[in-house]
Structure 1
């Protein structure tokens, strides 16, 4: 039974979809500021019948509970890739919005140690006084809304649990409780291991001596091995020479650039760090000529060409393509650059190679 009028519902829900879009954009910006890229940010406005059911349930213990007591007519869900990112986003939200501590709950902490279930952080928020005075937010100055933050795996558990129809441990038949508990524990462990793996992959690798450098040469091409190679190798000598002669400071490698290089080097058959080293040594002087010529040309045009420690490897791809010859090289070039300027680039490569003795 619906315990409020259509007019009251219209007043309660007016403009909430637009508010959800705006708050979602704010959360996206805040996420970037704390170096988090969410899997998704979505919102929904509770429908009238769901609101009525919740009010009826609340009135069992609180007879005065009504439509305007609801704090989640507007609900926003933020899904992160890693569980520790939940707290990063929560901290950012607490700085930007007013947190209703009484109605907010961290369901991750509400479970006893021997209980199962994957929960999320539920924040009930309101607009800050400064934002509430802005024209586009003024009508929502007193509105509360709920933000649920959980990791992808936490979300997966919640969705499966919901689909199975069990709301609490007491609902689960005794025969299946142990199985539920094992599954929840496994997902929690996987979540922790993903966080640990991300941390390890993000830690710069150090080469502590000649034996480490020899071992590196045997490794397959990956973002990690390329980053290590750029720090102590023939590539480092190349970059130091270029930076010294042209008085430029080379930018650091970018993860996205490394990822593309891994894909493209493998496409061209450069499978190991040793393969890459051999290719660079073979074309060292020619590569330098080409990179220098294009750098000076761009500078003469009034441009400020960006050069990073991996820039030489981008040009080195062209020399590998030149070594492949026609038509294999042309095909590889078009796969990598999706362009029809193969002939122009090959002329530049062969010009740079002219008169240079191959190692």
Structure 2
């Protein structure tokens, strides 16, 4: 397989969606509305990771496009848990995205303590050979959830997926602490948003 040719549309999908989701944030800022999108990141799965997943799932090359849903992946960060569901509503209204699968790890957290909202969408990319629809996984989470998930991912990598029990227990407690932080921030959401608007107005005046 020519991996460069195969992955090119996925790179295009990630680049296009990052611009579109960042555009949602910019539009909200211009219209002086609260933006549920704090920032957006994206990546295309490395070839080594694709090959590893193919081996684990016993997939042929022909099955990669349909059976590996996260070759193209985006992460949308939010300030508040409520913002996650606001983002999902925005995504559902778009006519360029078709929802394929929804995994709510906020209501149904993983045993590790992991929380996030995952959606797999079908997204059309325009290529020289015409339109091509690709699967893209979008993870939507708060900043606190992302901090925890990043640490857990690093520890999983260090220990080869077998994190020692004492560290695993601390991670679970940390996950609950992160979620309590999200809950506390939600209780003062109005105050935080008002303070941010005042700050943004002050900064905009400085620039004019």
After TM superposition, is the score higher than 0.5? yes
Give the match for residue 44 of structure 1: 43
Unaligned runs of 5+ in 2: none
> Structure 1 residue 10: deviation in Å?
3.6
Give the match for residue 141 of structure 1: 132
- Map 1:3-152 onto structure 2 (within 5 A): 5-6=1-2, 9-31=3-25, 32=27, 35-59=34-58, 66-69=63-66, 70-96=68-94, 97-101=97-101, 104-111=102-109, 115-127=111-123, 132=124, 139-152=130-143
Task: Give the 3 Å change call, closer, same or farther, for CA 156–338 of structure 1 in structure 2.
Answer: closer
Q: Is the 8 A contact 2:36 2:87 kept in 1?
A: no
Residue-by-residue CA offset, 1:191-226 (whole Å, 9 max, x unaligned): 1111111235558xxxxxxxxxxxxxxxxxxx6xxx
User: Between Structure 1 and Structure 2, whose CA radius of gyration is higher?
Assistant: 1
Give the match for residue 175 of structure 1: 166
> Structure 1 residue 135: deviation in Å?
5.7
- Map 1:240-319 onto structure 2 (within 5 A): 255-256=197-198, 260=202
The count of residues paired between Structure 1 and Structure 2 equals 197
Indicate the SS of the match to 1:143. strand
Indicate the SS of the match to 2:81. coil
TM value normalised by structure 1: 0.47
- Inter-partner Cα distance in structure 1 for 2:54 and 2:207: 58
> Structure 1 residue 259: deviation in Å?
6.1
Kindly indicate which of the two structures has a greater share of residues assigned to strand. 2
Unaligned runs of 5+ in 1: 204-222, 224-253, 262-335, 340-359
Structure with more relative contact order (C-alpha pairs < 8 Å, separation 6 or more): 2
Indicate the SS of the match to 1:52. helix
Where does structure 1 differ by over 4 angstroms across 4 or more consecutive aligned residues?
31-34, 62-65, 134-140, 200-203, 336-339
Give the match for residue 355 of structure 1: none
Give the match for residue 353 of structure 1: none
Q: Is the 8 A contact 1:12 1:68 kept in 2?
A: no
Q: Is the 8 A contact 1:79 1:149 kept in 2?
A: yes
- Inter-partner Cα distance in structure 2 for 1:46 and 1:180: 26
Q: Is the 8 A contact 1:30 1:89 kept in 2?
A: no
- Inter-partner Cα distance in structure 2 for 1:138 and 1:123: 27
Give the match for residue 190 of structure 1: 181
> Structure 1 residue 154: deviation in Å?
0.4
Q: Could you say what the CA RMSD is over the residues aligned between the two structures, in angstroms?
A: 3.5
